[in-house]
Amino acid sequence: MKSQRRGAKIAMDPAELDAFLAAERTCRVATVDGDGSPHVTPLWFAWDGRALWLTSIVRSQRWTDLQRDHRISVVIDAGDNFAELRGVEIRGVGVPVGEVPRTGEAVPELDAPEQLYADKYAGGQIFHDGRHAWLRVAPEKVVSWDFRKKSGSRATTVGPSKSMAQDPTSV
């Protein structure tokens, strides 16, 4: 995996990254469309500490894109004010795991991610609707940021935020 070169002062350490990905609920998934254009959609996800797991409708543009070009970029972010912004970008390839679409056959590799997903979104119950399938994204590159570190304070700020015209890459 490529290491983060810029913004090291505000990068999340592994424990912070795991906690952030366990807590956040929605990611934005970018794939490459047939004409080379980006295609971005929101999804729910599970993080197992090594890979990001996505469940996708197999008749979606996203699934079609990934069958042609496995490259994927995923962003999970949070924060309202500039000084509160934090997030993670994961780049890798989306690899289908299990049957397509998923109907519930025994797939030991899916036991942990399905339970993580069910605990996070479905009250611990695993559902297979015969329309979705699992994608594993093993990170090739992870970039993280936590602008709360820039100010030296982990507390949530109150009041006016810093100007968005300020260059966030200058940290």
- Are the CB atoms for 75 and 26 separated by under 8 Å? no
CA angle (97 as vertex; 3, 17 as ends), nearest 5: 30
| DSSP code at position 165 | T
**What's the pLDDT band for 164 if we cut at 50, 70, 90?**
very low
Per residue in 58-116, pLDDT (tens digit) is 999 999 999 999 999 999 999 999 999 999 999 999 999 999 999 999 999 999 999 99
pLDDT given at position 8: 79
**pTM here?**
0.83
Rounded to whole angstroms, what are the CA distances from 25 to 12, 19, 101? 18, 12, 23
For domain 8-151, say whether CATH 1.10.10.1100 is its number: no
Domain ranges for the chain, please list them: 8-151
